[in-house]
Structure 1
Amino acid sequence: MKPFIHELRSLVGYTSNSTSHAEKLISALGGSLSIGCIFWLAQILVEGDILDSTSGVLVVASMGASAVLLFAVPHGALSQPWAVTGGHILSGLVGISCFKLFGDSFIVAGLAVGLAIGAMYYLHCIHPLGGATALTVVIGGPTITDMGYQYILLPVIINIVIILLFSVIYNGLFKWCRYPAHLTHRLKKSALTKPINRQYELTHEDFAAAMQELDSYVDITPEGLADLLELAKQHAEKNITHPAEILAGRIYSNGKMGNLWSIRQIVDAAPTDSQPHRDQVIYKVLSGDGAYKIDICLRSEFHQWARFEVIKHQQQWVKVTTDSSL
């Protein structure tokens, strides 16, 4: 049953989340305050005759989803200022134009979203909620369609300006999630220690080529990916360990990446003074390649497979080192 559940979780993309409770609350509070701020300021602008609104629409519904990205995933490529701004405005223009040219049929609704996606791709401003903005214009009814292109100014542009400013200020209170992502990247870059000489050094160009070969939109900036891999390489260089012995109850990793990565626990083992051909261990795969599989092999074979011992800490597997305080 467990292998089936593991496969099902992988299939639907359900993964563990090591985000702290504090960060979850910070994200939720930021999203809540940002939408309240948008509605409050837009209402002030209209009631004070600073902006003229022929409709009661002050907040674009898709801004709620944009708030999720800006405050829960502030460093994602889909959350950056150009993606948010270009995605909403461009998609709004596409939606209004489609409605004026072809009406509000279901075919036009699909056409508006499709054209918005294509336009966002070519202008490098992919933002999922842009599609929602384009769709809203077509199917939103007279309250929205009667506004025509004025809908782009209020509420769309006003909403964008307010939520982006609020995101910069709010996320700026926490140095680990400053927005835009480039601000955090600059801080991380200055904090990175000088790497030791390597025979083969991965470059930013390597990342760009790999992402292009993948031919799929990845919600991470090249800078963020470079930071993550550089920190991982430095961590590996500082903490290279190998299991001195293979013991029952201990958990080991093969240290590989991607689909080859695997975590195994020794369920039982022969006495350490056993003859070589009888010195066997029984292990269970806890995570990664072959998850939940139980097998038996020689201790020497397992030792050759294992790179280091690990323990589980805050839902993540981490190396066990001699000075580990975990």
Structure 2
Amino acid sequence: MKADWLRETALVLGVEQNNTSHAEKLVSSLGGLIGIAVVYFLSLEHESALSSALIVASMGASAVLVFAVPHGALSQPWPVLGGHLISAIIGVSCFKLFDNILVASSAAVGLAILSMYYMRCLHPPGGATALLAVIGGPSINSMEFAFVINPILSNISILLLTAIAFNSLFRWRRYPAHGITTSQRIAAHKRATPEHNLTQEDFTAALQQLDSFIDVSAEDLSDIFERALRHTENHDTTIAPASIATGACYSNGKLGFHWSIRQITQLSGNLIEYEVVSGQNKGETAHCTREQFVIWARYRVKRQEKQWVREFQLLSSEEVQPC
């Protein structure tokens, strides 16, 4: 089916499944506008127009992170500050050590990535700063290590201060991400009443086992898990065999590989025919009794903004929309 092909293609290409509200998108955009405007204005006060334009281009990528992904691990103050400073030092050093620009620029970016990893300040725009220190031209190269202090340090400091001030204006944003108060943390954990065996250390161990940098912290994962527990507790549903409707979609509520969505294609007395429309065994068709189906099914779902969500208010069979 065309829709399935398009969804699979989007997943292969890594097209972002973004459910961010329009307000959040606009806030992020406004933050980037203000942040770069302040950095650019102050840069023009101290540098030539050419070098300022180059520096602001390097800061633009950081602005995307601190204003659009303020809770992300790559966006926090130390990655932003340390990533740019370390990369700038490496970039200047490589330019001075290697006569060949190709070797110098390649070494600068590669060593910057390695250093940021070990210094725990991985910040993608740092690679651009390292490269800029090598290929920025005479106006940049002539600064040598002064380039690290002014304009890099000064510009990063301005951007960070602007991000902290701007993000603090919106109660749902935390920058730095650890900026949530102790009282808020206690209140959040009190709301998470369900008992479970998973711990903060389990999330940390899981991230380590992936052996790949993930732009989320163990703290964020545990917060997501607690919110998911509250969500399932507040909206627990039981499916009655008689409520099963043709065209409706149901989830088994499992996680990862074992998760799947079934759509009812035909009802004939107590017999159900269904198709697996998402998850494990997608495309498979089968049949069973109503009683067997409700043992498998945990709740009814529907598509909302390209995501599967619970359908708490069950529709009548006439109101069911295709999945």
**Alpha-carbon distance in structure 2 between the residues aligned to 1:266 and 1:112:** 57
Q: Which of the residues 105, 114, 123 maps onto 2:119?
A: 123
SS at match of 1:147: coil
Aligned twin of 2:252: 254
Superposed displacement of residue 148, structure 1: 0.5
Match for residue 29 of structure 1? 30
Q: 1:145 to 1:104 in 2, by over 3 A?
A: farther
When structure 1 is superposed on structure 2, of 31-40 and 306-315 the one drifting more is 306-315
- Closer/same/farther in 2, CA of residues 196 and 209 from structure 1, 3 Å limit: same
Match runs of 1:303-322 below 5 Å: 303-321=294-312
2:200 and 2:9 map into 1 onto residues whose CA distance is: 35
Alignment-mate amino acid for residue 114 of structure 2: G
Retained in 2: the 8 A contact 1:95–1:113?
Answer: yes
Flag the structure with more relative contact order, 1 or 2, with Cα contacts below 8 A and sequence separation at least 6. Answer: 1
Task: Decide whether aligned partners of structure 1 residues 319 and 186 sit closer, same or farther in structure 2, where only a CA change above 3 A counts.
Answer: farther
Match of 1:43 in 2: 44
Which residue is equivalent to 2:175? 179
Deviates more, 1:205-214 or 1:176-185: 176-185
Deviations 1:200-231 (A, max 9, x none): 42111111111111100000122111111111
The AA in structure 2 aligned to 1:264 is R
Correspondence list, 1:44-123, <5 A: 44=45, 46=46, 53=47, 56-58=50-52, 59-123=55-119
- The residue number in structure 1 matching 2:163 is 167
TM-score scaled to structure 1, two decimals? Answer: 0.87
Give, in whole Å, the separation in 1 of the partners of 2:312 and 2:115.
Answer: 51
Distance in 2 separating the partners of 1:323 and 1:5: 29
Aligned match for 2:273, one of 281, 296, 301: 281
Give the partner amino acid of 2:249.
Answer: I
Give 1:295's aligned residue.
285
Q: CA 1:187 to 1:249, structure 2 compared with 1: closer, same or farther past 3 Å?
A: farther
Specify every segment of 5 or more residues in structure 2 that has no aligned partner in the other structure, as ranges: 316-323
Structure 1 residue 123, shift from structure 2 partner: 0.6
Write out aligned runs for 1:152-163 (5 A). 152-163=148-159
Does the CA-based 8 Å contact 2:251-2:297 persist in structure 1?
yes
Given candidates 197, 206, 213, the residue that maps to 1:201 is: 197
Instruction: Output the CA distance in 2 between the equivalents of 1:211 and 1:123.
Output: 18
Partner of 1:49: none
Q: Which amino acid aligns with 1:57?
A: S
Native 8 Å contact 2:250 2:297 kept in 1 = yes
SS at match of 1:263: strand
Q: Distance in 2 between matches of 1:240 and 1:190?
A: 25
Residue aligning to 1:50? none
- Matched to 2:268, the amino acid is A
- Is there any run of 5+ residues in structure 1 with no aligned partner, and where? 47-52, 273-278
Question: Which whole-Å CA distance do the structure 2 matches of 1:187 and 1:6 have between them?
Answer: 42
Instruction: State the AA in 2 paired with 1:34.
Output: G
How far the C-alpha of 1:178 sits from its partner, in A, is 2.4
Query: Could you say what secondary structure the match of 1:83 adopts?
Result: helix
Aligned length, in residue pairs = 308
1:96·1:134 contact (CA, 8 Å) conserved in 2? yes
Q: CA deviation at 1:177?
A: 1.4
Q: Does 1:265 align with 2:263?
A: yes
Superposed displacement of residue 305, structure 1: 2.0
CA distance in 2, matches of 1:217, 1:185: 27
- 1:42-77 CA deviation, whole Å, 9 max, x = no partner? 334x2xxxxxx5785233422101111111111000
Is the alpha carbon distance of 1:310 and 1:227 closer, same or farther for their aligned partners in structure 2, counting shifts above 3 Å?
Answer: same
Larger displacement relative to structure 2 (13-22 or 86-95): 13-22
> What residue in structure 1 maps to residue 230 of structure 2?
234
Q: Answer whether contact 1:283 1:296 (CA < 8 A) is retained.
A: yes
1:308 aligned partner, one-letter code: Y
